[in-house]
Amino acid sequence: MSEIELHRKLLGDEARNAAFHAALKSVIVPGKSTVADLGAGTGFLSFLARQLGATHCTLIEYTDTLNLAQELARQNRIDGLSFIQGHSAELKRPPKVDVVVSETLGNYALEEGLLETLADARRYLKKNGVLIPCGLRQFVAPVLSPRLQDEIDIWPKVGFGIRLDEARRVSLNNMYVRRIDTADLGGDEALAKVWDRLEFRADAEPAPSLRRQSLHWSAKPLGEATVYGWALWWEAELVPGISLSTAPSAPATHWDQVYLPLLEPVRLATGETLELTLTSDTRPDVGVRVGWRSRRLAEGKALHTQEQDIMQGRL
């Protein structure tokens, strides 16, 4: 995807724009507040901040989109801006500001370095400064409809007497960005669980980039359903009381949900439990690595295990 296409999607997202505008409005003190915009892109959030009365905004962006941001600022006669090309973590002497905003959320919430960016962003804050977003919750739910799996797992159906087992294995060790409906989850989101919770407030301890959680679903709430994979989505708290959500039931945004396929569908018998262990590693020397282990358990013993990792899905 080209840079301008990415920003076309971002700026065409009315829910996103309205939420960030409301969040900035709630924390900017006109004539007093200064702002740092980390991963500024076209500069849109800084332009909003200046309209809302911020005295100065520092835009930090490592791509050439910064040139476009400067041109847009000229066209709109927006002053009180400083432009720095580079990654925010590379600045040895960052400006001290009242508000740091960073919209570096991906379909998989942490894929664009949000966690690491906001951990480092504390260096930019004055005492009692504000980070936007200030929190994040990541959700996971079992997918009970075969629709998504059927779209992805085409390998056994190709035919012509050719086995494609290895291609299938690689394919199913990947995350897939898909529009997931509540119907895919059995009609609602009641089976969803929070698998990760992050606080980005200035006084919160920086969270580690390596994150892991195990969750369990018993046979009773799943009923007679078959589990084909896992759905991921997130809710970002921009400031207290103002959030953005990519839940299937939430108003649509330019973000979609993420589907993690299973190697084989799972159906539980009475007394059995389905365990999911999710691992997320976004350390800078790793990039983005997500793993998911699905185990069918009875009386604490594993009856069957499926281990998947996007590192195994790369060619």
* Residue 54 and residue 177 in one domain: no
The total number of structural domains that make up the chain = 2
* Residue 68 and residue 157 in one domain: no
Quick one: average pLDDT of 147-156? 98
* Residue 163 and residue 19 in one domain: no
Q: Is 251 contained in some domain?
A: yes
User: For residues 198 and 10, what is the distance between their CA atoms, to the nearest angstrom?
Assistant: 23
Residue 315 has pLDDT above 90, yes or no: no
* Residue 90 and residue 239 in one domain: no
Q: Please say whether the beta carbons of 59 and 69 come within 8 A.
A: yes
Residue 79 has pLDDT above 90, yes or no: yes
Structure-block tokens of residue 129: 């400064």
Q: Is 276 contained in some domain?
A: yes
* Residue 172 and residue 286 in one domain: yes
Q: Please say whether the beta carbons of 85 and 67 come within 8 A.
A: no
* Residue 274 and residue 144 in one domain: yes
Q: Please say whether the beta carbons of 20 and 242 come within 8 A.
A: no
* Residue 221 and residue 296 in one domain: yes
Residue 227 has pLDDT above 80, yes or no: yes
User: For residues 146 and 160, what is the distance between their CA atoms, to the nearest angstrom?
Assistant: 24
Question: Which amino acid, one-letter code, is at 3?
Answer: E
Q: Is 111 contained in some domain?
A: no
Q: Is 123 contained in some domain?
A: no
288-297 per-position pLDDT tens digit: 999 999 999 9
Percentage of the chain beyond pLDDT 90 is: 96
Place of tokens 């960005």: 177
Q: Is 129 contained in some domain?
A: no
- Angle ∠(50,53,57) on CA atoms, nearest 5: 40
The predicted pLDDT at position 186 comes to 95
Q: Is 224 contained in some domain?
A: yes
* Residue 224 and residue 289 in one domain: yes
The predicted pLDDT at position 201 comes to 87
Q: Please say whether the beta carbons of 211 and 197 come within 8 A.
A: no
What range does the domain containing 86 cover? 3-103
Q: Is 258 contained in some domain?
A: yes
Q: Is 220 contained in some domain?
A: yes
Percentage of the chain beyond pLDDT 70 is: 100
Place of tokens 């909003």: 48
User: For residues 207 and 200, what is the distance between their CA atoms, to the nearest angstrom?
Assistant: 8
The predicted pLDDT at position 184 comes to 98
Quick one: average pLDDT of 176-195? 97
* Residue 275 and residue 225 in one domain: yes
The predicted pLDDT at position 1 comes to 66
Residue 225 has pLDDT above 70, yes or no: yes
* Residue 307 and residue 246 in one domain: yes
Share the mean pLDDT of the chain: 97
Phi-psi region of 159 (alpha: psi -120 to 50; beta: other; left: phi over 0): left
16-44 per-position pLDDT tens digit: 999 999 999 999 999 999 999 999 999 99
Domain boundary (103, 119, 147) is at 103
Domain boundary (87, 103, 119) is at 103
**Taking the model in full, what pTM does it have?**
0.96
Domain boundary (103, 127, 144) is at 103
Question: Which domain CATH number covers 40?
Answer: 3.40.50.150
Question: Which domain CATH number covers 239?
Answer: 2.70.160.11
